[in-house]
Structure formats: C-alpha cells, structure tokens
Structure 1
Amino acid sequence: MAEEKITYILDTNILLHEPFAFLSFKEHDVVVPMTVLEELDSIKDRKKDVSRDARVAIRALEDTLQDATPEEVLAGVKLPENSSEQATGHLSIFNDYTLDSTASTLTFNENDNRIIACALHIQEQKQPHKVVLVTKDINMRLKAKGAGLAHVEDYRTDQLIDDIQFLTKGYYRFEGEFWQQVKDCESETEGRNTTHYVSRDILPQTYINEYLVDQTNEFAGKVVNYDDEKLAVLDLGYERLMGKNAWGIHPKNIYQGMALDALLDPSIDLVILTGPAGCGKTLLALASALEQVVERGLYDKVIVTRSTPEIAESIGFLPGTEEEKMAPWLAAITDSLEVLHKQDENMSSSMNYIMEKANIQFKSVNFMRGRSIQNAFVLLDECQNLTASQLKTIITRCGEGTKLVVSGNLAQIDSNYLTALTSGLTYIVERFKDFPGSSTINLNGVVRSNLASFAEENL
C-alpha cells in the first residue's frame, strides 16, 4: 500500500539551514510561501554568514521552476529525480499575500504569522490529507499549534543522533577491571607494540580508533581493527599514556592522555576534540603542533583558524594585515602560547621566536575556500558554530601530509541557526567515527581551575 502523500510547507529557516532541503521530500509535495521568498530576498544581500545560503536556496528553487509556466508553479512542478531515488512529489509557490487577513485568527503584520496563515489555509483546502509546517523556530511551532495547525515538525534529516548524550565520546570505560571481562585472548607483539585479539562480545558496538580504559586505571588500549567475532586492541598502557609529552606539556587526566596520543600519531589525519571550556583542547593541540613542526619536523607550518559569527562583517574595519585583523579572535591561541613559555626568561621574545620558527599563520575561515593546504598542522578552533557544509569546505582543503585538529564546545553555540544536534561538529563526529584516519576525544573534565570547574557544573 502506497504511503499517503503529505504536503510540507517550509519556513525560511529550513532553506537557510539547508538550501536544498526541498529536494529531501521526494514522494511528498512541498509548498514554499511567497513570504519565505521575500525573507530570502532580504537576507541574500546582508553581510552575514547566512546570505550565501539564501542565495544558494534561491538559485536551487529557480533551477527547479525555471521552465514552468505561472500556472504550473502554482499547481506544482515535479521534483527533480536523482540516480538513487524516484521523485513523485511536487514543488509549488503559494501566494500568501492573496489571503484575506480578516478571515485569519492571526495578525498579518509578522512574516511568521503569514506563513502560519498560509499553512492553515492549505490545511483547510486539503482536508483530510496531512499538511505539515516544517520550521526550526520553536516559538513558531508553538504559535502554529495554538492557531490550530494539526501538524508542525522540526527538520531532522541532517540529524544523525536524536540526543546529544548519545554522541560518540571516542572512548569506552569498562566497569571494574578490563581483564576480568576477557575470557579468551590471543596476543601478538611486534617491536614495542602488543595487540590483543579478544572476543567482540565484550564490546558489540565499537569503531576504529576507539580508546578503551577501565575503572582501575591499569589498562588503556585502542581498537585498531574488528570483525564480527574479534576485536584487535592495541595495548597502549595506562602509565605510557599518562607519560605522553608534547612541548613540555603532560596530560593531567586519562582523557588528555588519549588526546595527546591521537594528536602525536602521524597516521591519524583528523583529530576531533570536544568538551567543556577549560578541558585543555586548545593547549594540547597547540603543544602537539609545536612539537611536531619544530622538534620533529613532520610538518612545515602551523595554520590556526577559527569561526566567529561576526568575522564576515567585522574583520574589515580592523587595521593591519589579515593576520593582525584576526588577532583579537585568536587570543585563545596566544594565551596558550604564553602558558607554554611562561617559564622562559623573556616570554615575549620566546613567543615571537616560536611563531616564526613554527611558521604559525593566522587565517580567517572565510579565506580557506579554494586553497589547497600541504604539509601543515591545521588547528580549527571554536568550530561548534560551523555547519556541516562549512566544515566540509575546510576539511576538503587539506592536501597531502596535512593534519587537521578540529575542536569545539557544543555548550557554547552562538549561531541562531544551529543547535548541539545540528552543529557541524556533531555531524563530523558521527560521520568520521569509523574512519581509520581519524580519532575523536571528548575531554571529560575541566582542568582550568576549581572556579571554572564549579561554574561548568553549577551555572
């Protein structure tokens, strides 16, 4: 029995969040109210990070509707098909400006109310068929329900998880002692490395490069391979992890030990560090960068970049070169450099020397598109405010011999269009969790100070 065709009415924020969202409703009808087009038009010329998304959405709608007559646009134009799915739904534009404001329960002086009135009108027209308003605006969802709209939904096709507590942490902590849970084990030693082959039953849900620790703080390992029956666990040694060192920095807890192991491993091209403010994400990444560029000569330079919602319009008026303009936003990096060199006799001279020696370059995310970065250690800080497509733009810049460290705190999202579930950081953690060339670590625990720790837990 064929599924009943549903009519979806899209709010503006859906097309800003994902410009091609209307193509996701393959077998259902999609309606875009005229008010949404008006809002996209007003946003496309603003100097905001969403203006590009507005322009992309407008072009995508135009591509779909360009050959249609006005009558067909109102009635519905067949959605384009791709190779994997057959589209049976239609896309139409609804002129909500023709609705009689006196017949509506809502005032028409707000765009949100016009879109809700449009949805109510279509719901009345299409009875008993299902009509759904799709919006990411929580308040608009409440208003729509209050106005009598039967079905209101969030747009969730980009969400890989339903609850942020299920986000991959990058490690698994066993209750009690690890070896007490292992019934059968074969070990293989090659040089300094010992790999244990244990039954998959002890950890049915696992992925490549997941770290394994236990409550006794005696075992630490990493999943390097698996099949339906066996796990291949590289024995890292708890003490060896805690003894890791990068540019004079030693881990203060096992999570930092795991992070340093991933950061210093040349076979891992992408390290994703998540966790609360003060857990050491930036300091560990910078120390590892200096260690591998200056001491080991594995990379030629360090490129530091970060996203702030205001960079697009605010960077221009600041004096100086691109690097000098970026300095206020990259204070976290210079703060970390000060920590690494505070014992030096002349700290400012040491910092200047190291910045030159390690060839540390500060770059704006806006200028990363189109580049190809070779043999560099790239630090992308504060990336919780980036969308999945923005992160893809940066990750695909990384050429041969480049290591990318992505860090962010999902509790500090500043963007109006993102939540912890839809952030690009959450997206890449889930997408890359089983990729052999990447490692994710959730740095669980604030090490900044007792004050910072108390604030993180209680405010």
Structure 2
Amino acid sequence: MIKRRYILDTNVLLQDPLAIYAFDQNEVIIPAVVLEEVDSKKRNMDEVGRNARYVARMIDELREKGKLHEGVPLLNGGSLRVELNHRSFEKMKAHFFETTNDNRILAVALNMSLEEEKIQSGRQITLVSKDALLRVKADALGIYAEDFLSDRVIQDERMYPGYEERFVTAELLDRFYGGKKIHVTEAGVTTCYPNQFFIFKDRLKSSRSALGIAGKDAEWIHLFQPQDEAVWGIRARNVQQRMALELLNRDDIPLVTLGGKAGTGKTLLSLAAGLSQTEDLQKYKKLLVARPVVPVGKDIGYLPGEKEEKLRPWMQPIFDNLEYLFNTKKPGELEKILAGMGSIQVEALTYIRGRSIPDQFIIIDEAQNLTKHEVKTILTRVGEGSKIVLMGDPKQIDHPYLDEYTNGLTYVAERLKNLSETGHVKLQKGERSNLAQMAADLL
C-alpha cells in the first residue's frame, strides 16, 4: 500500500530526469503545469533542454503501461501519475492570488493534502522542490515540503578536502622520518584514499610536524618533502599549494581536482604547472585552457566580432593570469607571445563536444558551474597521454540548477576519490591580497 505521495516541481525533473525513481514504493505525482514547463524548455540547446527532452521521452514510454492520469507502475515498485485535477485556487486565493506556475503547483499540493486529511487516509502529501521560496510558501500553507537530495553527491555536507590533519606522538614522527613511510594502521587512519595528503603534528603541541601522501594502494603513507623550486616563476606559499603542485606535476595522476575560494591560487598554479610541462619539459603537445560560458550577474548579450573577440570577455580571468606569468607590460604583448608559441589554446567549453584531445595538458576553470552530464562529457573527451585539471569554488555557483553538493566539480572529486589516477586538494588560504582574503572570509 502506498504510504506517501510526492508531488514533483519542474526543477526536480530538469535537474535529474530519473528523479521519478528516487521515491521507493510510493506514488510520484506530476502536476499538468509541470509538463507545460518541461515542454517550454525542450527546445533549449543546453543541459536543461537535454533533460527536458529526456523527461518527455521517458514519460511518453510510460504511456504504454496505462493511462498516466490514472497512474502507471514504475520499475522500483512505486507508481507515477499525471495530476489533471485539484487545480482550484479557492483555498489559496486569500494568501497567493496570482495564477503563476508555482502557485498552480502549490494549489495541487494544497487541495490534495486537504483531501487526504478529509478522508483520513494516513497518506502524507510531500511537495518536492529545489526552489527554496516555493518550499517556504508551501510551509506557510501547511504543506509538507522538502528539497530533492537524491542528486547530492555528498550527504553530510563535508566535501572531501584531499588531506587530513592528525595529532600523533613524537615517537611516531621519528619513525616516519626514519623509515620514510608508515602504514595507515600505525598512524591511526581508518579511511584513506589514494594520493591523499596527511599533516602529522606533535600531540604535545611542539612545532614538529611531518607531511605525508598516501600511495596508490592507500595502505602506506609516504613522507612528502616538497622541493622549494619555482614552477614557471611561481612558488607555493602554503602547504595546500605545495600539495596542489605535487598533484599537478605528477605524471601518474592524469586527473586532478582543485577546490577553494577566490584568491587561493588555483588558476595560477595550474597554468604555471601546465606551461612548465608543455613548454619546458615538452611532456605535452599543447596547453588547453577552457571554462564554461556562464555569466555572473546580468548577461551582456551578443558580442560583436570574430570568435576570439567574442570569447575574450569570458576568458579574461585566464588572460589575467597569463599576463602575470609572462610578465607582460604593454597592451597586445600577450597576444603576440601566444601567437608566437602556438602551443597554448584558450577555449570556451561550448566547442569541446565531439573532440578527442590526446597529449595535452587540459585545464577546466570554473568547473563548479558544470552539471554531472557536462563534466562526464568533458572527461570522456580526454585522449591518450593527456592530463586534465578541474578547478573551481563549489560555494560560488552561477548555474540556476546547481548547488554546492550537486555540481560537476564536487561530483568528480567525490565519486573518483577512490581511484589511484586521481588527486584532490581544497586550497584554504587566499594569497591574492590581504583585501581579497578579508572579502572572501567576511563578506
């Protein structure tokens, strides 16, 4: 017997088309207005449009099992129904009188909830939405509402930082320095991932410490003594940056993810490592730098000029870092350097689909604005002999259907942390300027 009824908002289906299967053996209800909103998005040539088309095809296939307005069974034991009734605004007009699509969804939820109370069926009506304000309005009407959490990569709100700080005995530190490695059980580590860093500090609060990195088998922690050598003129300024440079320079780690707030050095370190390995060491044929075209604030509309001129405003943060690395002083000087080198390509992610990218050092900036599908598309483009770096700040999301726990950067870092070919570091300390650090911390 069905115990709960879940009414889905449009944004749930556009975020995860398979959301209808996430509610176990309960009834999933899609209001007619939700189908209208999905239909309005299906012509979009982006991730939202792709999901809208997927939802349309999936629901169309379910028609073969019966009449959707009466309910059809799902493979997980639940059922799906398209709700055509319960649209009356009579119970809502005193509070929310405008006939917006959100209010139409609320009307369905409210009328169904009142009906269940009247017949005392014991079945709870739950409105599921990614829209916080819709959940607030539902709560004001006495409707139980919740966020859709099944698409979250992490459930405890703690993203994997890539390192762990532990207090140990002085004797363990001596043994670590003497043997150059220590087993995870000796260090008291219960959960260890390949290429994870460890900061061991003296339990007695002395200044002694040691830095370690887990091996590929995640059973031994090896002593890590980073070299204080400049990489394309850039030196690490803190321990997390040293960890990042280690991962960026390792040939046996083809996938690196870097997280951290603005000013922590993610882009600068990645570009420096990429230039060093492409130009100096000749490990890769080309350095490819790309970022998604997602505006912060109001979009500036269509831009005049050729492709390079159109892309320049979106790619300006990359060019700012390249100007710093090449120490350019005059306008146009960087363009001449890049044209002369020919091995550095700055591109928008719009043009990456369908490509195969072998023997390249690939940097994807602002990866937190990528969906799970988009980041999978990018990683499947990586060819033999290439290294890819995904970086961004999961707390700065500009995509309307993503958050800190569902974006592409978090998805990759969490899902692939068990693989020996991957490494992740969350950079903590801002190094851009004191003002930038204060703004990141306090604003």
Normalized against structure 1, the TM-score is what? 0.86
Q: Distance in 2 between matches of 1:5 and 1:355?
A: 65
Task: Please give the residue correspondences for 1:375-454 in structure 2 after superposition, counting only pairs within 5 Å.
Answer: 375-454=359-438
1:322 is aligned to 2:322: no
State yes or no: 1:222 paired with 2:227.
no
CA deviation map 1:127-173 (0-9, x unaligned): 32122111011111111121121x21111112132354x21111112
Q: Distance in 2 between matches of 1:14 and 1:123?
A: 20
Q: CA deviation at 1:186?
A: 11
User: Which residue of structure 1 lines up, in the alignment, with residue 61 of structure 2?
Assistant: 63
Q: Deviations over 1:310-341 (max 9, x none)?
A: 59x97994344434422211111111111112
Q: Structure 1's 200 and 137: CA in aligned 2 closer, same or farther, altered over 3 A?
A: farther
Distance 1:358 1:180, change over 3 A: farther
Residue pair 2:200, 2:209 contacting (<8 A) in 1 also: yes
Give the counterpart letter for 1:57 in structure 2.
Answer: V
Secondary structure of 2:395's aligned partner: helix
**Contact 1:304/1:379 (<8 A) preserved:** yes
Contact 2:277/2:284 (8 A) holds in 1 = yes
Q: Which residue of 2 aligns with 1:173?
A: 165
2:271 maps to 286
CA drift of 1:346 comes to 7.2
Q: Give the unaligned 5+ runs of structure 2.
A: 202-206
- 1:74 paired residue number: 69
Alignment of 1:245-264 (within 5 A): 245-264=230-249
- 1:61 aligned counterpart, secondary structure: helix
| Aligned with 2:192 (options 191, 195, 206) | 206
Counterpart residue number, 1:136: 130
Instruction: Please report how far the alpha carbon of residue 373 of structure 1 lies from its aligned counterpart in structure 2 after TM superposition.
Output: 1.2
**1:186–1:214 distance in 2 versus 1, CA, 3 Å:** closer
Paired positions, count? 431
Classify 1:323/1:257 alpha carbon distance in 2 versus 1 (closer, same or farther; 3 Å).
same
Q: CA–CA distance in 2 between the matches of 1:167 and 1:178?
A: 28
Q: Which amino acid is 2:99 matched to?
A: N
1:28 aligns with 2:26: yes
Shift of 1:444: 0.9
Contact 2:173 2:209 in 1 (8 A): no
Q: CA deviation at 1:124?
A: 3.6
Cα distance change on mapping 1:37 and 1:186 into 2, 3 Å: same
For residues 244 and 170 of structure 1, do their structure 2 counterparts lie closer, same or farther at Cα, with a shift above 3 Å needed? farther
Query: Is 2:249–2:273's contact at 8 Å kept on the other side of the alignment?
Result: yes
Q: Does 1:101 align with 2:93?
A: no
The answer as to whether partners of 1:184 and 1:198 remain within 8 angstroms in 2 is no
Partners of 1:178 and 1:213 within 8 A in 2: no
Per-residue CA deviation, residues 414-448 of structure 1 (Å, 9 max, x unaligned), is: 12222212222222221122211111111110000
Contact 1:187–1:196 (CA under 8 A) maintained in structure 2 = no
Residues 438 and 347 (structure 1), Cα distance of their counterparts in 2 relative to 1, 3 Å cut:
farther
Letter in structure 1 aligned against 2:348: S
Distance 1:198 1:445 in 2: 27
Q: Is the 8 A contact 2:295 2:398 kept in 1?
A: no
Q: What is the rounded CA distance, in whole Å, between the counterparts of 1:152 and 1:10 in structure 2? A: 10
Is the counterpart of residue 89 in structure 1 residue 90 in structure 2? no
Cα drift, residue 26 of structure 1: 3.9
Supply the distance in 1 between the matched residues of 2:272 and 2:106 (Cα, whole angstroms).
Answer: 53
1:302–1:235 CA distance, 2 compared to 1 (3 A): same
User: Counterpart amino acid of 2:351?
Assistant: F
Are 1:116 and 2:98 counterparts? no
Aligned mate of 2:324, from 335, 339, 361: 339
TM-score, scaled to structure 2: 0.89
How far, CA to CA, are the matches of 2:351 and 2:329 in structure 1?
37
In structure 1, C-alpha distance between the alignment counterparts of 2:178 and 2:60, rounded to whole Å? 61
Find the partner of 1:374 among 339, 358, 382. 358
Runs of 5+ unmatched residues, structure 1: 82-86, 189-193
Find the counterpart in structure 2 of residue 159 from structure 1. 152
Structure 1 CA distance for aligned equivalents of residues 20 and 88 of structure 2: 27
Residue 244 of structure 1 contacts residue 261 of structure 1 at CA under 8 Å; is this kept in 2?
A: no
Distance change >3 Å, CA 74–CA 6, structure 1 → 2: same
Give yes or no for contact 2:24–2:78 (8 Å, CA) kept in 1.
yes
Moved more, 243-252 or 102-111: 102-111
Question: RMSD between aligned alpha carbons?
Answer: 2.8
SS at match of 1:384: helix
Task: Return 20-29 or 425-434, whichever deviates more.
Answer: 20-29
Matched position secondary structure for 1:377 = strand
For 1:142, the aligned partner's letter is V
- Are the structure 2 counterparts of residues 262 and 179 from structure 1 closer, same or farther at C-alpha, using a change threshold of 3 Å? farther
Q: Deviations over 1:235-285 (max 9, x none)?
A: 221xx34x1432121111111111001000010011111111111100000
Residue 196 of structure 1, CA deviation: 3.4
